[in-house]
Amino acid sequence: MVGESKIIGELKISRPSRRCAVENRPLAPGEVYYSVLVPRDEDFQRVDISRKAWEGPPEDAIGWWKNRLPMPSEKKRELAPPEVLVDLLRSMLQQPQRSKSRYLLALLLLRKRHLRVCRPTSPPPSEADEVLRLESSFDSTPIEVPVCAIDPAEAARLQDELVELIYRDVEDAETSD
């Protein structure tokens, strides 16, 4: 699978290279690394960088995220079913302390097309109350998610929290059916 690409939205993103581009060495199982998406010619390139060599994203980076190469003995994980994730988002609307995780989950579901943007029936009361007006692609029910600013210093913690919420172990999922 190394070298294959996956289309996400309109971007074609290659799979992890399993090599540190800075140190020019293979990444070890269990090793933390960062993936950076940078423009190349008329396309984009994914670059993987070990935690040791990471000095932050390059100036031309479109986005970056933290990863960990799985250990051979680890269970495979998969994203929970989309209907479950939409229900999770709805339940998180009642948890103000999870506003940033909720906003990131809404963006993920929007990107995966499990949610779509609704046309507002009326303008928001003020720009301070900016809200994503969405609807489920399963049942067309409306969902309003307040927009949140994410500080780069909290991005890793929020990413870890979201991963724990939305992924499940494949082995557990197979035995529970």
Domain boundary among 37, 52, 73: 73
Q: CA triplet 170, 174, 177: central angle to 5 degrees?
A: 140
Residues 45 and 64 in one domain: yes
What domain count does the chain have?
2
If DSSP codes are grouped into helix, strand and coil, which group holds residue 164? helix
Residues 87 and 159 in one domain: yes
Share of the chain above pLDDT 90, in %: 16
Encode pLDDT of 107-126 as tens digits.
888 888 889 988 766 665 55
User: What tokens appear for 101 in the block?
Assistant: 């995780």
Encode pLDDT of 74-97 as tens digits.
777 788 888 888 888 888 888 888
Domain boundary among 73, 94, 109: 73
What pLDDT sits at residue 24?
95
The H-or-E segment that residue 163 falls in is: helix 155-166
Residues 65 and 83 in one domain: no
Beta strand pairing status for 43-50 and 32-40? Answer: antiparallel
Q: Which structural domain, as residue segments, surrounds residue 166?
A: 79-176
Residues 38 and 106 in one domain: no
Encode pLDDT of 13-70 as tens digits.
667 788 999 999 999 999 999 988 888 777 778 899 999 999 998 888 888 888 888 8
Residues 91 and 154 in one domain: yes
Produce one character per residue of 56-69: b if its CB has 16 or more CB atoms within 10 Å, e if not.
Answer: ebeeeeeebeeeeb
Angle between helices 82-92 and 99-111 (to 10 degrees): 150
Residues 113 and 162 in one domain: yes
